[in-house]
Amino acid sequence: MMFLRTRVSWLNICIVLPIVLFGFLFLALSFNKAKDGGIFLYYANIAGDSGASVLRWACLFLVVVFAVRLAFLLLYFGLRSRPLGEFLASVFSFQSVWIYAKARLFLFGALFFGIALFGLAIGQVNVFSADHLQDALLVKADLFLTGTFPAFELAKISYPAAFARLVEFSFFYLGIGMVFFAAYVFLRNKELFREMLAAFFLANLFMLAGWIAFPALSPHDRFLDNAYALPVSAEMQARVSAYRPQAEIQSVLESVRSTKDATLKTLPTTAMPSAHVVWSLMLLFFAARVSLVAGLIASPFAFMSLFGTVFFAQHYFVDIPAGILVFAVVMLCIRALKRADEQNLAQGGNPAV
């Protein structure tokens, strides 16, 4: 009856359940014959044609992890003056590799399989939501919260070119930055990595629910370029006519437009809440958990990525507080579930499944 004494990890459930739901959502909406326009390819290569694919980053992640392990083993056996044959046997023996791989297979598999299903689900949601957009509601929310439309008003300020470039880098390379940071956390603290993974997928699940409930194009797609040729109010037409961004911002908008036109048939309807806000805060939170130095290094990158959401007219202002709310709720959930896991462990039982 050993199985009955096996404890179930709530954090693991937070990893597995969203992945399963992403898969079901993709299958449920796949009846729609419209093409998703390569949405997964677009999100995997958000930085443009030079951006590496998810598979390439996954391979790099694995190579880094195993290379670091090899270096630690080499150092360990070198300091203890153990025979070379024993070192090689430890590294390449089937048992050693299997034990090492089995302990990490769940985390590796969940991370990359989950991201793939998440991207596929987003593609189907975009197709499904394209004909019932809620952009007008988000515009009203921005006017209510700020009295203006920040996505356009910020362009009236002149910024140093270097600052604009740093914001651009942070905004478009947030995903790649999180991959490298995830590798760093994995090497430093496996349990913290599992907690971060659970928070990541739970946040993605909450955001997906928001995108289904409030589908919206970005201000760039909806108003500046009006990519779907939809009606635009006279007030918004006047704001668009007055929009005169500096060269660095205009260059980013043109790059985004060309990438979407070349890759997508259905544009993203994932404005509210902002994934950039949620992921930036998550990066900052877990970096600070690793060390104070890591938190300080991550801070400018995270905040500039967050600022870029409105700075480049890729989000409405209301998407920011919505993203902050999602992050706060997710972290409260993770904290409660982690406490439940610790209580289960204290009561005894076999390793979590």
In a domain, 251, yes or no: yes
In a domain, 312, yes or no: yes
Alpha carbon distance 181, 95 (integer Å): 29
**Angle of helix 174-188 versus helix 275-290 axis, rounded to 10:** 30
Q: pLDDT 10s digit of each residue in the chain, 353 long? A: 333 344 457 777 777 778 778 877 777 776 655 555 455 555 555 444 444 445 455 555 555 666 666 666 666 666 556 565 555 555 554 444 445 555 566 666 677 777 777 877 888 888 888 888 999 899 999 999 999 899 999 888 889 999 999 999 999 888 888 888 887 887 778 788 888 888 999 999 999 999 999 999 999 999 998 988 888 888 889 888 889 999 999 999 998 888 888 877 888 888 899 999 999 999 999 988 888 888 888 899 999 999 999 999 999 999 999 999 999 999 999 988 888 877 777 766 544 44
Alpha carbon distance 295, 142 (integer Å): 31
In a domain, 108, yes or no: yes
Alpha carbon distance 175, 305 (integer Å): 10
The pLDDT of residue 352 is 46
The pLDDT of residue 66 is 60
* 126: amino acid identity, one letter: N
In a domain, 2, yes or no: no
In a domain, 140, yes or no: yes
In a domain, 3, yes or no: no
Structural domain of 96:
8-346
In a domain, 50, yes or no: yes
Give the ranges where the chain is alpha helix by DSSP (H).
10-29, 39-44, 54-79, 84-92, 94-129, 135-146, 150-153, 161-172, 174-188, 190-213, 219, 234-241, 247-263, 275-290, 292-311, 319-346
Contacts of 24 (CB under 8 A, 6+ apart): none
* 204: amino acid identity, one letter: N
Q: Within its chain, how far is the Cα of 153 from the centroid?
A: 27
Q: Is 201 helix (H, G, I), strand (E, B) or coil?
A: helix
Residue 269 has a CB neighbour count (10 Å cut-off) of 26
Q: Which of 187, 169, 149, 144 is nearest to 302 (CA)?
A: 169
The pLDDT of residue 94 is 45
Contacts of 246 (CB under 8 A, 6+ apart): 155, 158, 159, 164
In a domain, 198, yes or no: yes
Alpha carbon distance 20, 11 (integer Å): 15
**Angle of helix 94-129 versus helix 54-79 axis, rounded to 10:** 160
What is the count of structural domains for the chain? 1
Six-digit token pair at 53?
């694919």
